[in-house]
Amino acid sequence: MTNITIYLDLLLLFSLNTTSTDFNLVMPNNEKIQEQLLESDYQEEAIYYYLINNFKTVSEIYATQFFEWDTNTLCTYTQDFENSIQYSIYECGESGSNLKVTFPKMQKENLMKWVEKIHAVYEMEENSNVWKEKNTRYEPEFLEPGCYYEILETENSMSVQIYCGC
């Protein structure tokens, strides 16, 4: 009887540990994304290409806004992808771009590796970004222009908020 109890306890413990962090993030194919960025008429963002390469869209683009000076070009929108992934971008200002991508809960280390890999799409020189703030911020070591990433966790999801600019 005790073996069955131990087995059931282990099974319960295993299921509790895996259900909240079992989402596996596919690592970006940076070469493919770089090719897509070069071929694009409208310069989409690398994370958007990553998402359309790896996940099905489950919504049309919504929450849209157009540039004041170009009412035919979107500067803000949101789109949903399978697995409860959501992509939102805001580029309406003149100071750079802000975006947020939300994923299901996963191991933080996997998301950190993903951030490093997606950041590498834009690297022209040696990477000057480092992890700060208990591994929640990936940003240039010194205050300088570049891309700043912040990992935000909730009970059921993990988001990466990104600001790129001056």
Indicate the average pLDDT of the chain: 84
CA distance 89 to 102: 12
CA distance 7 to 12: 9
Report which of residues 45 and 80 the model is more confident about. Answer: 80
pLDDT at residue 11 tops 60: no
Q: In what order do the strands lie in the sheet with 85-90?
A: 62-66, 74-81, 85-90, 96-104, 157-165, 146-153, 137-140, 129-132
Residue 115 φ/ψ region, left for φ over 0, alpha for ψ in the -120 to 50 degree band, beta for the rest? alpha
Task: pLDDT band for 58, please (50, 70, 90 cuts).
Answer: very high
Give percent above pLDDT 90 in the chain: 53
pLDDT at residue 17 tops 50: no
Count H helices and E strands in the chain, helices first.
4, 8
Task: pLDDT band for 27, please (50, 70, 90 cuts).
Answer: very high
pLDDT tens for 65-108 read 998 888 888 889 999 999 999 999 998 877 778 999 999 999 99
Task: Return the SS3 of 149.
Answer: strand
CA 39 vs. chain centroid, Å, equals 22
pLDDT score of 12: 43
pLDDT score of 38: 87
Q: Residue 37 has which token pair?
A: 């960025």
pLDDT score of 32: 93
Residue 116 burial by CB count (10 A; 0-12/13-18/19+): exposed, middle or buried?
middle
Task: pLDDT band for 43, please (50, 70, 90 cuts).
Answer: low
CA distance 20 to 44: 32
First to last CA, the chain: 65
